[in-house]
Amino acid sequence: MPYLMTFRLLPREVRRKINQHTTVGIDQTPMVAASPRGRSPVDKKTGLELRVNPKTGKNYSDKLVLEHDSGWYPINAERREESGPESKPDKDFVWGRAGSIAVLVPNRPVDHAEFPNIALGFSMSLPGTQHVASETVRVLQSIADRGHTPGTVVADRLYFATLTPEVLHIPVKEMGWAVITDYKKTGLGIKGGKAGAKQVEGRHYCAGTPKDLLNASVDAEAHTIDEDTYRKRLEERTAFELRPKEKPDARGHTPMMCPAVGPNATLECPLRELHRNATNKIRTAVLTGNVPEAPDSICTQSSVDFGPEDGIRDAQLFRYQSKEWSDAYRIGRNTDESYHAYVKDVGHEAADTPARRRIRGFAAHQIMATMLLVSANIRKIVTFLTDRETQTSKSTTTGQNLGPLRKTRRRDREGLSNYKAKWPLKVLPGAPAGAELDPPLRT
């Protein structure tokens, strides 16, 4: 309930705006234990501690572990599958717990802050990908149980691009949350389908879609095409996307139809007769060579029933790499990372500094972490209300309440950063003019 308490510190009109459509970004962060001494690496087959280093052949020394209800948290994402450091010192691991924080994220790009980006939910667990799904579901369920309308959840590739639908995607969808995420390299291109339709990056496309359009992201990731070609292929591919015939029913089933069917057809296909009420606009034609030799039901029926779990593994709210997706993903991930840095500020909560909380035990650590997040929330709320009042007083002459302005980072404002991400994420659609912005690195 402490997060509900800080939420209720906000004015009523701000709370109502948030509750209309709650968007959160969720991510894990290491919660370092008070005692840094941890156990030896674990044998994946037996689950027991290794007595001998498999690489050096030397015996591991016996260790007196004070925080036994902790685990090795991999700071380096590339070593996430390892059970711990093989030798000391190893800065890629810390001994502690994993904290899952859900941070309130703007619903859309705005010039002024509509509400403060506070933590709405938190849970703590042992490190390990096997705990990520259950902790995510627990945090999102807690937010919904407190009266927030489930909207959108933004997460990096550790979540929806890695975990199985049974433990994460399905429970999240049943709660009413939509997903915005990134894909791994192995998740790009054609990944399954239904009734002859091909699923590509969360969307289903016509069986006659050209392969160069279906593999646009694969080619972009391999740097075999330039950015202009990539954007053009993504735009051309939208004409081949299946369309819903009706809204989902009470069970979540949606009839999907071929893009060459109906008065609003976006394609012309040799297998389909153009609707008599179709407009005279220019449509993309399906090439004869791309027409399937044995058409499936998506090519022969007026519509095909898609259930709530069909394609859920890669489904998300916006088209991948569209402007809407880029805006939502960039804002969500940057807001999330910003809050983590905010609560770890050594001048305030210092959540990443165990020397500031000389206390041992899982329960005590979680209580202390909750207090620190509440403190950070209150600081953000005070700053938001102070900035809003200041801006309101400045705008009284115009009669407009502009709200607190969102400040541009000094390194972007003064051009102090020369960092440029590799193509295809050099400059995302919707990024500020002249800024070399990109989402956080894929983890």
pLDDT band with cut points at 50, 70 and 90 for residue 409: low
Is the pLDDT at 256 greater than 60? The verdict is yes
Between residues 89 and 120, which one has the greater pLDDT?
A: 120
Q: State the pLDDT at residue 90.
A: 75
DSSP bridge partners of 122: 101
In the chain, the amino acid numbered 437 is L
Q: What is the pLDDT of residue 305?
A: 95
Q: What's the pLDDT band for 429 if we cut at 50, 70, 90?
A: very low
pLDDT digits (tens, 9 = 90+) for 105-130: 988 777 678 899 999 999 999 998 88
Please give the average per-residue pLDDT across 156-176, as a whole number: 94
Q: Band of the pLDDT at 434, cuts 50, 70, 90?
A: very low
pLDDT value of residue 102: 96
Beta bridge partners of 257: 243
Residue pair 94/32 in contact by the 8 Å Cβ criterion: yes
Cβ distance 281 to 268 under 8 Å?
no
How does the average pLDDT of the chain come out, rounded?
Answer: 85
What pLDDT sits at residue 406? 56
CA-CA distance, 360 to 382, in Å (whole number)?
Answer: 31
Rounded to whole angstroms, how far apart are CA atoms 209 and 236? 10
User: Cβ of 357: how many Cβ atoms within 10 Å?
Assistant: 17
* Furthest CA-CA distance within the chain: 80
Mean pLDDT of 58-75: 80
| Residues in Cβ contact with 132 at an 8 Å cutoff, skipping those fewer than 6 apart | 28, 98, 100, 158, 159, 163, 168
Q: Residue with structure tokens 């989902």?
A: 248
pLDDT for residue 40: 75
Contact 96, 65 (CB under 8 A): no
pLDDT band at 423 (very low <50, low <70, confident <90, very high): low
pLDDT digits (tens, 9 = 90+) for 273-330: 888 888 888 899 999 999 999 999 999 999 999 999 999 999 999 999 999 999 999 9
Q: What is the mean pLDDT of residues 90-105?
A: 90
